[in-house]
């Protein structure tokens, strides 16, 4: 495949996919999109940390060959105003695994979110956000070490699907007439209208991935989070389809919460995984008061968006929380925060969200030793209380480091 602006590194090899499993060479080409705002600062720092960990873990036997891909403002400069070039999507498909910094999205107008477009165009249907406590990180909770949750957020449906009709537009009037006259719906004049599609196929593939993750990683429970008491045929249906799937495909390994009490006296049978559901509003309370009760969570797009930021706040904030958007094999890892434009090019912010997304990426390609080196280095750097400004304001007696100095501190520990 030939590209206009993208240059594949000559010495790297493409990752293959065999029988649905990744076939990763020792010199894989991985894609990266720098991102807008603080993106370049955190990407520069993170690339150095990932490379140092791989070099230390494998002593030259393995090396990532990075390939820069373009989206957002940098792309617009290179592709005559195109923020979302088709060749970047082609390259992600060809490379299979990529990582990206944050991208700007205007509110209430302008173009559609590039992040949402990417997830939908590539059908990256599972947004995976692990949230766990790292020793030494400032937290408002008394027992933050109880948080070890992985959120599977559906990425392609819900109100995020972009089916919206602007107040006053012809399409809006047509739909409003149909809803009022043919369906008997009642709502205020000139209301903007949005559609919330939730399908059995979309729900089940997401919940299947969450359950499979729980099985593969020896997790204890999967919780379906929904607002099905109010939105019965979308959120409620998500829950029902989840239980249907659990019974049909995982009946030998999952125990339903009702059965736990009816059949097992409340004691989980050895080697089984509990599947339960909770309503979204109470879930926000439970994750603050009793986080130890939750393990893997599967939910729809909007609930997942709110929940993952709220949970991240309990263990250090969005500056540290990692994420990935995963299809059946293609995966795009990403910082979960935005472009924080007021800090752009100041070498100031915390690179950890992107850096830990890269740790997830290293685990995804099976390079666990390199990932573990970064995890351990991070704990050591926290112990020294040398942190970026966001943590410094929560930690008495800490030393504030720039983005690049924080990366240097990690690299020094990786080599120690």
* Distinct helix (H) and strand (E) counts, the chain: 14, 17
Catalytic-residue membership of 227 = yes
Per the CB < 8 A criterion, the answer to whether 114 and 105 are in contact is yes
Among 337, 358, 392, 409, contact with ligand NAP (rule: CB under 6 A):
337
- Regarding 221 and contact with ligand NAP (CB under 6 A), the answer is no
Residue 54: which of 62, 45, 46 has the closest Cα?
Answer: 62
Per the CB < 8 A criterion, the answer to whether 300 and 236 are in contact is no
**What residues from 340 to 399 belong to the interface with ligand NAP (CB under 6 A)?**
340, 349-350, 353, 390
- Cα–Cα distance between 196 and 388 in angstroms, integer? 39
Smallest gap from Cβ 353 to ligand NAP, in A, equals: 6
- Cα–Cα distance between 32 and 68 in angstroms, integer? 5
- Cα–Cα distance between 124 and 301 in angstroms, integer? 12
* Active-site entry in 160, 165, 213, 243: 160
Catalytic-residue membership of 383 = no
Looking at 233-327, list the stretches that DSSP marks H as alpha helix, in order from N- to C-terminal side. 237-250, 257-264, 280-289, 301-314
- Regarding 124 and contact with ligand NAP (CB under 6 A), the answer is no
Smallest gap from Cβ 22 to ligand NAP, in A, equals: 24
Residue 102: which of 335, 310, 313, 258 has the closest Cα?
Answer: 335
Residue 29: which of 77, 98, 82, 89 has the closest Cα?
Answer: 98
Nearer to ligand NAP, 203 or 339 (CB): 339
Residue 152 bridge partners (DSSP): 128, 298
- Regarding 245 and contact with ligand NAP (CB under 6 A), the answer is no
- Regarding 40 and contact with ligand NAP (CB under 6 A), the answer is no
* Active-site entry in 123, 135, 281, 328: 281
Catalytic-residue membership of 295 = no
Smallest gap from Cβ 54 to ligand NAP, in A, equals: 23
- Cα–Cα distance between 230 and 116 in angstroms, integer? 26
- Regarding 331 and contact with ligand NAP (CB under 6 A), the answer is no
By three-state DSSP, how is residue 257 classified? helix
The footprint of ligand NAP on this chain (CB under 6 A) covers a number of residues equal to 18
Nearer to ligand NAP, 40 or 338 (CB): 338
Which among 166-174, 253-261, 331-339, 357-365 is the span making contact with ligand NAP, rule CB under 6 A? 331-339
- Regarding 103 and contact with ligand NAP (CB under 6 A), the answer is yes
Among 5, 56, 105, 404, contact with ligand NAP (rule: CB under 6 A):
105
- Cα–Cα distance between 402 and 193 in angstroms, integer? 45
Smallest gap from Cβ 40 to ligand NAP, in A, equals: 12
* Active-site entry in 158, 227, 243, 408: 227
Among 117, 139, 339, 347, contact with ligand NAP (rule: CB under 6 A):
339
- The CB-nearest residue to ligand NAP is 338
Which own/partner pairs from 302-307 qualify as long-range (CB within 8 Å, at least 24 positions apart)? 302/158, 302/159, 302/160, 303/153, 303/225, 303/226, 303/227, 303/235, 304/127, 304/129, 304/151, 304/152, 304/153, 304/154, 304/225, 305/153, 307/151, 307/153, 307/225, 307/280, 307/283
Catalytic-residue membership of 348 = no
Which among 213-221, 282-290, 334-342, 372-380 is the span making contact with ligand NAP, rule CB under 6 A? 334-342
Compute, in degrees rounded to 10, the torsion defined by CA atoms 394, 396, 398, 399. 90
Smallest gap from Cβ 287 to ligand NAP, in A, equals: 20
* Active-site entry in 36, 295, 305, 408: 305
Residues catalogued as catalytic = 160, 227, 281, 305
Q: Using CB under 6 A as the criterion, which residues of the chain lie in contact with ligand NAP when the complex forms?
A: 38, 42, 102-105, 115, 318-319, 334, 337-340, 349-350, 353, 390
């Amino acid at each position: 495949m030939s590209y206009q602006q993208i240059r594949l590194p000559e010495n790297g090899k493409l990752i293959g996919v065999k029988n649905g499993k990744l076939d990763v060479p020792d010199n894989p080409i991985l894609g990266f999109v720098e991102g807008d705002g603080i993106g370049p600062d955190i990407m520069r720092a993170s690339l150095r940390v990932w490379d140092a960990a791989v070099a230390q873990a494998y002593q030259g036997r393995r090396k990532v060959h990075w390939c820069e891909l373009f989206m957002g403002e940098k792309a617009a400069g290179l592709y005559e105003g195109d923020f979302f070039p088709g060749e970047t999507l082609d390259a992600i498909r060809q490379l299979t695994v990529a990582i990206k910094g944050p991208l700007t999205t205007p509110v209430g107008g302008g173009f559609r979110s590039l992040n949402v477009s990417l997830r939908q165009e590539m059908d990256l249907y599972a947004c995976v956000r692990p949230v766990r406590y790292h020793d030494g990180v400032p937290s408002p909770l008394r027992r933050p070490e109880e948080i070890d949750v992985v959120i599977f957020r559906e990425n392609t449906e819900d109100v995020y699907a972009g089916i919206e009709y602007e107040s006053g537009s012809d399409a809006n009037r047509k739909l409003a007439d149909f809803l009022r006259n043919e369906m008997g719906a009642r709502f205020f004049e000139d209301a903007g209208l949005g559609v919330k599609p939730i399908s059995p196929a979309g729900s089940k593939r997401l919940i299947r991935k969450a359950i499979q993750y729980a099985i593969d990683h020896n997790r204890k429970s999967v919780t379906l989070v929904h607002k099905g008491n109010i939105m019965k045929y979308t959120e409620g249906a998500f829950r029902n389809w989840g239980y249907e799937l659990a019974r049909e495909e995982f009946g030998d390994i999952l125990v339903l919460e009702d059965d736990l009490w009816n059949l097992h006296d409340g004691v989980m049978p050895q080697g089984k995984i509990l599947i339960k559901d909770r309503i979204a509003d109470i879930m926000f309370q439970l994750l603050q008061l009793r986080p130890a009760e939750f393990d893997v969570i599967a939910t729809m797009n909007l609930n997942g968006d709110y929940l993952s930021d709220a949970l991240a706040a309990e263990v250090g904030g969005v500056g540290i929380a990692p994420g990935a958007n995963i299809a059946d094999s293609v995966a795009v890892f990403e910082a979960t925060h935005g472009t924080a434009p007021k800090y752009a090019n100041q070498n100031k912010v915390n690179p950890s969200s992107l850096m830990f997304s890269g740790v997830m990426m290293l685990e995804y390609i099976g390079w666990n030793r390199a990932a573990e080196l970064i995890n351990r280095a991070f704990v050591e750097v926290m112990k020294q209380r040398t942190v970026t400004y966001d943590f410094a304001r929560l930690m008495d007696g800490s030393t504030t480091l720039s983005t690049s100095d924080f990366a240097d501190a990690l690299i020094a520990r990786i080599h120690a």
